[in-house]
Amino acid sequence: MSNRLIITSGPSCVGKTPLVAALGKFYPDLLACFKKLVIYNSRAPRPKEIDGVDYYFRSLRQLQGLKRKKNFIVIKVRGDTQALDLGALRAILKTHNVLFEGNPFVYEIIKKSGLLNTIPVTSVFIAPLSREEIIFLKNRRGKFFLKELITDIMRRKLLRRTQHQKGALSLPDVRTIETRAASAYREIALAFAYDYILVNHDGEDSDNWEAFYYPLGDARKTLESFAEILKGKNPLGAERWEKSLLSF
């Protein structure tokens, strides 16, 4: 296999989805060089999500049934059940470059499958805090405070996103937000294993992605850096983190 796999991960609501959307808007020829990896998900579609484009939305029972099928990996992620068809991924890579945008736990599963031993892969983590900010906060208040802070940062982003999409929140919405926010620290602790870490304070809740036509602030910087990575270049401003920066 000579085609590339680009992994783009980060905690829920950090800005992965608007990043890929902005890439299609401002770098359509670049995005056209990649085929999106679509995985299975047990949750209901969000507003504007399309079955077969964003995810294959299936019932929990259907996804649990995939455990019996060869090449399928089924995992529990942030309260949802997701499934990845490794056979389909291998088939796509024979003819296309592949872009995966999703949570870090799926990337961990792909690594354990051994598939990455045979293909070129570039991994990109979108982080809501910089290395310098994490060190500053750890030195001032310690690990426990940092974990609570990251949870609250992502909780607020998730609340704003869900309110924008749905208006009034239901009790299940609030529970989902809390589950996703609570998972963020553990997910960010996996960032050290990625080739590039792009710091983006403009989550999916931010106006900087779409309100002014052109992305602004960190949204613009993240888009430009991501485009450089897809072109095979090293972007200015990308970070690398040591494993000891965050611990479980």
Vertex 246 angle, CA 240 and 248, to 5°: 135
Decide: helix, strand or coil at residue 58: coil
Contact between 238 and 129 (Cβ < 8 Å): no
Q: What is the CATH number of domain 5-245?
A: 3.40.50
Q: Which helix (H) or strand (E) holds 198?
A: strand 196-199
- What is residue 143's predicted lDDT score, i.e. its pLDDT? 67
**Of 189, 223, 186, 227, residue with least CA distance to 208:** 223
In this prediction, residue 130 carries a pLDDT of: 98
- 121-148: b or e for each residue (b if 16 or more CB lie within 10 Å)? bebbbbbbbbbeebeebeeeeeeeebbe
Pair of tokens at residue 159: 């609340």
The pLDDT score that the predictor gives to residue 248 is 63
Would you kindly state where each structural domain of the chain is located, as residue ranges?
5-245
Q: Please list the pLDDT of the chain residue by residue as tens digits (248 residues).
A: 479 999 999 999 999 999 999 999 999 999 999 999 999 999 999 888 899 899 999 999 999 999 888 889 898 888 899 999 988 898 999 999 999 998 998 888 888 878 778 888 999 999 999 999 999 998 887 667 899 999 999 999 999 999 998 888 999 999 999 999 999 999 999 999 999 999 999 999 999 999 999 999 999 999 999 999 999 999 988 999 999 999 76
Using an 8 Å Cβ cutoff, are 200 and 127 in contact?
yes
Question: How high is the pLDDT of residue 147?
Answer: 92
- The length of the chain is 248
pLDDT in tens, 90-133: 899 999 999 999 899 888 888 887 877 888 899 999 999 999 99
pLDDT of residue 113: 78
pLDDT at residue 117, as a whole number: 82
